[in-house]
Structure 1
Amino acid sequence: MPPEDDAGRVHCRLDELLAERGLTLTRLSELVGISLVNLSVLKNDRARAIRFSTLTAICDALGCEVGELLTIRPDAPLR
């Protein structure tokens, strides 16, 4: 099993994708049926896990691929 600290290297680009599409977090929450609090946790890189169904719903709503939403920061310090 990979180290739990590696989760700190995953960066969610939700803010950037929302801005590019002229959407708010509130509107995305309405579109995908996910709470504003849970989307905020994801947006602020505080999520430790994400369900495939959630990931799919967000990508469908934003018209993006998983790799556009989630990236790996190779230089991020381990927590």
Structure 2
Amino acid sequence: MVPAPDPTTGQTPVAFVQPAHLDDFDEHQLVTACITQLAGYKRPTRFIPLQELPRSTIGKLLHGPLQEQAEALTHSTDT
């Protein structure tokens, strides 16, 4: 999860997910799980499926590219 700009709250959580198969991606199931498991301010407002999450050479998740993508998606929906 990374923060993305939000005109109302300043920032909103955006979740990037890597499903085993992109065809099996079920956003409704993720939303339901988040409602039961997370506080309201921690719930992602958007789920973005990716074939592969960006990782460093030692396998750590790279948050920078994800945050840039979340910001770009937010700006593209504002226009």
Instruction: Provide TM-score, normalisation by structure 2.
Output: 0.28
Query: Counting strand residues as a fraction of each chain, which structure ranks higher?
Result: 2
Higher relative contact order (CA 8 A, sep 6+): 1
Larger Rg belongs to: 2
Query: Counting helix residues as a fraction of each chain, which structure ranks higher?
Result: 1
